[in-house]
Structure 1
């Protein structure tokens, strides 16, 4: 659900809440030197950048740090790899958002490496299923993920 809200640019970030008079600050709860915009929280924030770099390294999917929707549509991967790629990105978006909320409401923040472990754990359950129709190329890529 968070990924859908992200892709429709409808997250209630501090930049928006501040302008509406709901929040007293417009800065990021994780990295408070910057205005909390979608671009900052998911791409420019040093914390989120570290999480996404770990995701890229682990998945060997080198997505851009901006227009994920257009990038997803332009990929020429197999349907299976597109589905797994979407799952990886959606889970990463969710976990970054979750850390933002933990920082805001509970004054807690996991290390980026711990977030990456949570992402892998969640993907393990999403990827469990019938793999009998997967091509050898896709199977090799999946096996390399070592979730």
Structure 2
């Protein structure tokens, strides 16, 4: 995973991203609806797990990974998943970290520039990022089944 993906994952995991609910508690803003779907108040839990935009992104990532990831709750699934292969765990970690980062980025673009990044666009950028990182894993990987699996991503 890239440093920016890892950092956003770490900050999100500690609940410290400046989501609308946190900004409202700090009395910086008065409205707290989600920038991606405008359906409910934006919080960490809502933005990454319940927002319709995030769910669509998880569905696309799930299809891309050949339905390895359950379509709902892919981030929680990865946290609980036990892998037999360290390489597979690293690759899926890159996918999930990249997904978190790109959802946060799409939210910020919607907030700052009033532009919506379509989930399909988000997936293409995520795929590019993950494929770049996979090249590094494949250089060190000896297992043919893992290499085949990674080359299909």
Q: Output the TM-score relative to the length of structure 2.
A: 0.85
Structure 1 residues 100 and 16: CA distance shift in structure 2, 3 A: same
Work out the CA distance in 1 between the residues paired with 2:22 and 2:93. 27
Cα RMSD, aligned residues only: 1.9
Instruction: Work out whether 1:56 is the aligned partner of 2:62.
Output: yes
Unpaired segments ≥5 residues, structure 2: 1-6
Instruction: Work out whether 1:31 is the aligned partner of 2:37.
Output: yes
Structure 1 residues 66 and 20: CA distance shift in structure 2, 3 A: farther
1:17-76 Cα offsets, whole Å, 9 max, x none, are: 1122012211111111201011211121111111111111111331561763x8435413
Structure 1 residues 55 and 91: CA distance shift in structure 2, 3 A: same
Q: Is the 8 A contact 1:80 1:134 kept in 2?
A: no
Work out the CA distance in 2 between the residues paired with 1:46 and 1:125. 28
Aligned to 1:128: 135
Unpaired segments ≥5 residues, structure 1: none
Which of 106-115 and 123-132 deviates more? 123-132
Work out the CA distance in 1 between the residues paired with 2:140 and 2:43. 43
Work out the CA distance in 2 between the residues paired with 1:21 and 1:66. 32
Work out the CA distance in 2 between the residues paired with 1:144 and 1:67. 21
Size of the aligned set, in residue pairs, is 144
Q: Is the 8 A contact 2:62 2:69 kept in 1?
A: yes
How far residue 82 of structure 1 moved from its aligned partner, in angstroms, is 0.6
Q: Is the 8 A contact 2:48 2:54 kept in 1?
A: yes
Work out the CA distance in 1 between the residues paired with 2:74 and 2:28. 27
Q: Output the TM-score relative to the length of structure 1.
A: 0.88
Structure 1 residues 67 and 126: CA distance shift in structure 2, 3 A: closer
Work out the CA distance in 2 between the residues paired with 1:96 and 1:7. 14
Off by >3 Å, runs of 4+ in structure 1:
none
